[in-house]
Chain A
Amino acid sequence: MSYARWFTIYGPSYLNALGWTALTAVLASLGAVVWGCVLLLFRLAGGPWGARGVDAYMQAFRNTPVLLPIYLIYFGFPLIGLPWPAVICGGLALVLQNGAYVSEILRGSFKAIDRVQFDAAKSIGLSPWHTFRKITLPQVLVYSIPSLGNQVVLLLKDTSLLSAITVTELTMQAKLLTEQTGAAYEAFMVVAILYLILVSGTEVLFRVAHRAVRWR
């Protein structure tokens, strides 16, 4: 079967899967950034134990493959009375893992903030919380845009691992079509192209966002 013909027949069946991939990637990315900010706050304001806790958390997630937390949450949560849908379990695993990386990215950007700004913040009586929210966080996030873009791309590609726990995202859809039609090459080529488009789009989005910052 020609590639074009294959696509006209089975193309539409990818739409739903594309939606799941995009939705999971967007929500998990937002979650990872929020969680990364929380981890940064723990590291900056949590005293020696806060920093140690975040370090231990980092070690745990950096030194294990993503598939592991995905399986642990998907198979483990029902055992503690939380039989959540597969996509939620998988998304949570992505948030927890990528949040760890995001917090390291943010920590790097934090070092780029001129320390004297914190003197200025103190001198106008800002509380530590307002200093974090109004001074630290906005700058850290902006300085991090390029690196966050990379991380979101990694996360986007990792959503394919959710196929291992029955989520019908793109990779799963290709598997299903392979089983249905036996045309593995065509099925996965379409997916490859769709990932390529998604990733390129993400990169453009972050580049535009980075350029749109007027104060730098």
Chain B
Amino acid sequence: MIEIRGLRKAFGSLAVLRDIDVDIADGEVMALIGRSGCGKTTLLRCINFLEEYDAGEIRLDGQPLWYRPGADSRRRRVPDQEARRMRQQMGIVFQQYNLFPHMTALENVSLGPRFSQKVAAAEAEDLGRSLLARVGLSDKVDAYPAHLSGGQQQRVAIARALAMRPKVLLLDEITSALDPELVGEVEDVIRSLLSEPIMMVLVTHALGFAREVAHRIAYIADGRIAEIGTPAEILEQPSDPTLKDFLRRIR
């Protein structure tokens, strides 16, 4: 499970995360919703330390991540090598796919296991093939990203994240950049993961999809979790006035 306590983050004088407290249980799927700029993507990026944060604590299965208390009561970043090891327990999928353009689909997927986890080349390749098969891209193993559709690229990106065998999958608006007709194939892949014990945190504007796959939805406003609950609670009986307004606008 993931425990987040007192998470704060500012970009200069702009406070983006003010005081985030939230737990994500094993196997739970948590959706983060909110207006653009509310801090939901920043929260996601803090979880796997693509963003540093100013205060607070993040624990994964009880293990404190990213910072250690220093001798002088000031915290210190964990050494880079340790941060890399911690980060391998989490996979992230980005809005813009972020595939490596000079590598085939298979190379994109095998790269992490091969060089971060020192898996033998043949084994990493087998893993890559089986994951690409899993996301329905067996026939695109040797294709370069430039020759794949957005939906296919995003499925490769999901396979690449899964290749690290993460405990958590972080999904950052993964269908926002896609043409509408390609959204379904990517959502299908996420649906197929629901039977796994993997935790998922998804930042999304697709409320229908969030309602379908998430156990809980957290509505973030102004750097805080303004409301959190089951999809039915959040989407049908919202109590926060800004959430009511947000839902009206987005529908």
Chain A residues with CB under 8 Å of chain B are 114, 116-117, 119-128, 130, 134-135, 138-139, 142, 214-216
Contact of A116 among B80, B81, B94 (CB under 8 A): B94
Residue in A122, A128, A139, A215 with the greatest tally of chain B CB atoms within 10 Å: A215
Tell whether, in the assembled complex, residue B111 and residue A125 are in contact, meaning their CB atoms are under 8 Å apart.
no
Chain B residues with CB under 8 Å of chain A are 48, 50, 80-81, 84-85, 87-88, 90-92, 94, 96, 98-103, 111-112, 115-117, 144-146, 157, 160-161, 163-164
Contact of A125 among B50, B88, B100, B101 (CB under 8 A): B88
Tell whether, in the assembled complex, residue A120 and residue B146 are in contact, meaning their CB atoms are under 8 Å apart.
no
Tell me if A's interface is mostly helix, strand, loop or mixed: helix
Residue in A124, A128, A215 with the greatest tally of chain B CB atoms within 10 Å: A124
Please list the 4 inter-chain residue pairs (A to B) with the smallest Cβ-Cβ separation, ordered nearest first: A124-B112, A125-B116, A215-B144, A120-B98
Q: Given contacts A124-B111, A125-B117, A127-B116, list 8 more A-B pairs with CB under 8 A.
A: A120-B157, A123-B91, A124-B112, A126-B112, A134-B115, A139-B102, A215-B145, A216-B146
Tell whether, in the assembled complex, residue A126 and residue B50 are in contact, meaning their CB atoms are under 8 Å apart.
no
Given A215-B144, A215-B146: A124 touches B99 (CB 8 Å cut-off):
no
Contact of B50 among A122, A135, A139, A142 (CB under 8 A): A122
For the A-B complex, the count of residue pairs with Cβ-Cβ distances under 8 Å equals 73
Tell whether, in the assembled complex, residue B146 and residue A125 are in contact, meaning their CB atoms are under 8 Å apart.
no
Tell whether, in the assembled complex, residue B102 and residue A142 are in contact, meaning their CB atoms are under 8 Å apart.
yes
B96: A residues at CB distance < 8 A: 116
Tell whether, in the assembled complex, residue A126 and residue B111 are in contact, meaning their CB atoms are under 8 Å apart.
yes
A119 to B98, CA, bound (A): 8
Tell whether, in the assembled complex, residue B115 and residue A215 are in contact, meaning their CB atoms are under 8 Å apart.
no
Tell whether, in the assembled complex, residue B84 and residue A120 are in contact, meaning their CB atoms are under 8 Å apart.
no
Q: How far is the CB of A137 from chain B (nearest CB, A)?
A: 10
Tell whether, in the assembled complex, residue B99 and residue A215 are in contact, meaning their CB atoms are under 8 Å apart.
no
A138: B residues at CB distance < 8 A: 102
A127 to B117, CA, bound (A): 11
A127 to B112, CA, bound (A): 10
A139: B residues at CB distance < 8 A: 101-102
A116 to B91, CA, bound (A): 15
A135 to B103, CA, bound (A): 9
Q: How far is the CB of A91 from chain B (nearest CB, A)?
A: 31
Given A117-B100, A135-B100, A216-B146: A123 touches B50 (CB 8 Å cut-off):
yes
